[in-house]
């Protein structure tokens, strides 16, 4: 089973975390199962981009990015080449490193109010 390393993130995971995960699970499900409060405003239905994450290692081992996910990723704050939605990216057989950005589109919108 692959090792998933979540980079430290000062708001929700100050020390980072390394966990073992089953292939086929989404990054978001692995995070939530390990008490990482990764945002997911649409309840994992691929209707927002609040679970945006950046894959720093092992991007190629994840499930393919479908068109619906690509469309939503265009709206993600801090989009990078190796960005994925945590609810859609399914873990393969290789280890991955995941960075959860400090801010999401939801957080940015709340700041503007």
Q: What is the pLDDT of residues 46-55, one digit of tens each?
A: 999 999 999 9
> In whole angstroms, how far apart are CA 100 and each of 33, 41, 51, 65, 113?
16, 15, 8, 18, 23
CA distance 58 to 97: 7
Domain ranges of the chain: 3-112
Tokens, residue 31:
């995070």
State residue 86's pLDDT score: 98
Element (H, E) at 19: strand 17-20
User: Closest Cα to residue 84, out of 3, 27, 41, 40?
Assistant: 27
Q: What is the pLDDT of residues 9-66, one digit of tens each?
A: 998 999 999 999 999 999 999 999 999 999 999 999 999 999 999 999 999 999 999 9
Q: Which residues contact 23 (CB under 8 A, 6 or more apart)?
A: 1, 2, 90, 91, 92, 93
- pTM, whole model, 2 decimals? 0.91
CATH superfamily of 3-112: Beta-grasp domain (3.10.20.30)
């Amino acid at each position: 089973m692959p090792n998933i390393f979540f980079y430290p993130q000062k708001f929700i995971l100050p020390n980072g975390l390394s966990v073992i995960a089953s292939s086929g699970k989404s990054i978001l499900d692995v995070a939530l199962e390990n008490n990482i409060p990764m945002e997911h405003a649409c309840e994992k239905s691929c209707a927002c981009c609040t679970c945006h994450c950046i894959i720093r290692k092992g991007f190629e081992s994840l499930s393919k990015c479908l068109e619906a996910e690509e469309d939503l990723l265009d709206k993600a704050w801090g989009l990078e080449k190796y960005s994925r939605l945590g609810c859609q990216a399914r873990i393969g057989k290789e280890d991955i490193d995941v960075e959860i950005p400090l801010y999401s589109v939801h957080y940015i919108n709340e700041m503007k109010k």
